[in-house]
Amino acid sequence: MDFEALRKYSALHPKPAGLALQYGTAGFRSKAEQLDHIVFRMGLLAILRSKAVTATIGIMVTASHNPEEDNGVKLVDPLGEMLHPSWEEYATQLANAEEQDLQKVITEICQKAAVNLHKDASVFIGRDTRPSSEKLSQSVIDGIQVLGGQYHDYGLVTTPQLHYMVCCQNTQGQYGKATLEGYYEKLSKAFMELIKQSHCSGESQRHLKIDCANGIGALKLSEMKPYFPPEVVIHIYNDGTKEKLNHLCGADFVKVHQKPPGGLDMKPNERCCSFDGDADRIVYYYKDTAGHFHLIDGDKIGTLISIFLKELLAKVKQDFKLAVVQTAYANGNSTRYLQETLKVPVHCVKTGVKHLHHKAQEFDVGVYFEANGHGTVLFSKAAETKIRQLVKEEKDDEKREAAKMLENMIDLINQTVGDAVSDMLVIEAILALKGLTVQQWDALYTDLPNRLLKVQVADRHVIDTTDAERRALTPPGLQEKIDALVKKYKLSRAFVRPSGTEDVVRIYAEADTQENADALAHEVSLAVFYLAGGKGAPPQPI
Ligand SMILES: CC(=O)N[C@H]1[C@@H](OP(=O)(O)O)O[C@H](CO)[C@@H](O)[C@@H]1O
Ligand SMILES: [Mg+2]
């Protein structure tokens, strides 16, 4: 290792005194101006990780749905998964090391993680459309070059596209071609094959309005448009030419505020959807003839996909295990519908894609969605092999047709991570194949009214949770208080947890009516404020 070069370059990316950041649920997130040293050092870390696992590693510069002034960075592991948890700790250590200790910390990581510095290293880089992203990705490259690694800069891509590229590269093309054309071709081919199997008459053209959050999704969807079949007409809104990224629009805005985004005019019963800033989340919605807004969130997306897959799996008559993975934020009625009506096993895990992904890998077909619209489907190697074999060899027409649909689903879904573009095509295909309108989809079950709030406290880590974050262990008395509050309302549930991406405590409540959900959420937020060291003024009623 050239320590002189390391010293020289790291001095060009100095760490602001006293700044300590943590590699959280979605990597590092902060104001963009605080991140230069972080991204430089993540360039270094990506090289170490690449040498440790002898594979290409991804680095994405994005802060997803957060404000345009923020930015962030996260590493992508060889098969397109999130960085392994054992390395999150190294990331935090390296990010917070003082300048003069950098060499020492790198040496320690190399020892602890058995990194052979003589191995080759390769890194794929991607970035979102934030004004700060280009410069930050240059600093990533500086880090990579100091440690002498190869890199490919994909420039502007969605987060899931970068995950896809990394997976393609490390499977020697088995997952697909590691280019944008490769991605567009793979998805559009699977989509067209799928809807070719649709026998329903219905409308000849399918229109969909898409709010792209003024982010990367707009750019990439426009590039992909020529690959879409004429039956699918997409209309792009919030394409970033007029307004700010994520400002009053995007999947997170729509989900949190439970209202339509700005910049998209909605006619009654029109099917619309929103991506988030880096296009790894999607939610659908429509307005009924009375003008009421209906949100179709990640839970309902996961439910639609599960219904579709369950029917196909029954037709291919294999003993495949299908399961759904959710977090505590899943609407209680979605869990009930999946378990009681659809009879699919549901598992609840901690918030954060890596937890959902990990759990979903335990099944032949694992569907996971966060309520906020991040999700995908994982097929086990054994299930995939069997399905592809049935497509080739099965004599029974119905069985073979079902296997063919499953095969196209495997190719259409981005199995590395939730992907708004891929999920959108999956949903559009399922709606077409099943001849469902957006209203019929929405009517599968009725969401329990719910409210998500956040409270600022001096140190959010005073809250420790258990049972997939549904119960608070500390501070003393908080869970007892929540239990007592929940008892006051019908069909109610509430929990609190420290956010992994923001310096806040999140509060979730659901109940039989919106007023009750709001009241419960407010009362719980007061309990957090008084028992967990609230900052500023006490929370006000909604
Ligand atoms: C309630 C909520 O939506 N939480 C989000 C949010 O995590 P927090 O740890 O709650 O800040 O950002 C994560 C990363 O995007 C996402 O995985 C998660 O679902
Ligand atoms: Mg995102």
Which pLDDT score is estimated for 173?
97
Residues (pLDDT < 50) of the chain are 201
End-to-end CA distance of the chain: 57
Cα of 162 to ligand 2 centre, how many Å? 13
Catalytic residue among 10, 50, 64, 492: 64
**Integer CA distances (angstroms), 385 to 38, 168, 379, 403, in order:** 41, 18, 10, 11
Helices (H) and strands (E) in the chain, counts: 18, 19
The H or E element that residue 432 is part of is helix 420-434
From atom 17 of ligand 1, which residue's Cα is the shortest distance away?
Answer: 352
Backbone angles phi, psi at 263, to 5 degrees: 75, 10
DSSP 452: E
From atom 18 of ligand 1, which residue's Cα is the shortest distance away?
Answer: 352
- Ligand 2 is an ion; its neighbours by CB within 5 Å are 64, 276, 278, 280
Q: What CA–CA distance (Å, rounded) separates 426 from 39?
A: 34
Q: Which of 153, 100, 123 is nearest to 45 (CA)?
A: 123
Tallying the residues shown for the chain, one arrives at: 542
122 is catalytic: no
500 lines ligand 1 (CB under 6 A): yes
Task: Say what the ipTM of the complex is.
Answer: 0.98
335 lines ligand 1 (CB under 6 A): no
352 lines ligand 1 (CB under 6 A): yes
353 lines ligand 1 (CB under 6 A): yes
Which pLDDT score is estimated for 200?
56
Cα of 206 to ligand 1 centre, how many Å? 32
Beta strands in 36-121 (DSSP E): 56-61, 70-76
- The tens digit of pLDDT for each residue in 271-319 reads 999 999 999 999 999 999 999 999 999 999 999 999 999 999 999 999 9
Looking at the CA of residue 370, tell me the nearest atom of ligand 1.
19
- The chain-wide mean pLDDT, for the chain, equals 96
354 lines ligand 1 (CB under 6 A): no
From atom 16 of ligand 1, which residue's Cα is the shortest distance away?
Answer: 352
Whether residue 211 contacts residue 274, with contact meaning beta carbons closer than 8 Å, is answered with yes
The H or E element that residue 131 is part of is none
Q: Which of 187, 173, 180 is nearest to 56 (CA)?
A: 173
DSSP 210: E
Which pLDDT score is estimated for 262?
98
**In a mutational test of the pocket of ligand 1, which residue from 275, 372, 455 has the highest number of ligand atoms less than 8 Å from its CB?**
372
